[in-house]
Amino acid sequence: MSASLAFVFPGQGSQSLGMLAELGAQHPVVLETFKEASQALGYDLWALTQQGPEEQLNQTDKTQPAILTASIALWRLWLEQGGACPAYVAGHSLGEYSALVAAGSLSLGDAVRLVERRGQLMQEAVPAGQGGMAAILGLEDADVLAACAEAAQGEVVSAVNFNSPGQVVIAGAKAAVERAIEGCKARGAKRAMPLPVSVPSHCELMRPAAERFAESIAAINWKAPQIPVVQNVSADVPADLETLKRDLLEQLYKPVRWVESVQALAARGATNLVECGPGKVLAGLNKRCAEGVSTSNLNTPDAFAAARAALA
């Protein structure tokens, strides 16, 4: 185990058609991982990620298992290649489930079925077109919170992802999000732009989804994590399994405290952060969240080799 090493797992938005194609061609463990997930889901997940259709891959209930499986394929490849075991793991939103699989708390089969269900419930909680999300860039957190409070007018809108200093995502009812965008612009935001998503994640509109999801969480045979997991809701390592499961449920309707999560990792000495998933969204954010943090990602053969060399 490397005390300075933490693995962080990405959330939705990291998927792309053809992801991990080169690594899949070179390393059987990648295809084996997708085969295991496909058996649990009842359809060919690798074929969907490689051939599409893209609209289907971008449906929440397909996207979530796809990103999780890709992340775990890279995790297994890392260990197979002799990569050091991290001292901590964390995941952004959906990525928290990948982190829990890596930590041995949850099997891959259980995890992909769980996040498929999570995606379905999120989609059902708010009918398409009624919710929205927006990215707010270049504005203090306090100003974003004030803009949301002013824009609510009896509807839901709140800051839901604290991704890096000066990058906050808001979510809620469509009209309230539109009002909050204008409020953020008026307060001096560099950019305030709607995101192309069908579900307003991590806001109060998702509480009914969490209530229905509790049954799925309770049905799983959970194990205590073998690697400490820093969770989104608390930006801390949970004290026990009950806390872990409660925070996982609350994560559906509470903010992702990513800045504080990265700071918590750095405060514990884990400053080498490896993004374990398709894409490199987190690598860009992590550097801005805490001093002295270095980042690597594993999404291509070259990136994987560079990370192995840097952390050998």
Q: Which residues are catalytic?
A: 93, 202
What separation, in Å, do the N-terminal and C-terminal C-alpha atoms of the chain show? 12
Under 8 Å CB-to-CB from 203, ≥6 apart: which residues? 156, 157, 158, 160, 171, 172, 253
Burial class (CB in 10 A: 0-12, 13-18, 19+), 55: exposed
Question: Amino acid identity, residue 218?
Answer: A
Provide the 3-class DSSP secondary structure of residue 38: helix
Half-sphere exposure of 230 (CA within 13 A, CB side): 27
- Name the DSSP letter for residue 164: E
- Name the DSSP letter for residue 299: S
Question: Amino acid identity, residue 47?
Answer: A
Nearest-CA neighbor of 73 among 15, 28, 7? 28
Half-sphere exposure of 52 (CA within 13 A, CB side): 7
Is the peptide bond prior to 238 cis by the omega test (within 30 degrees of 0)?
no
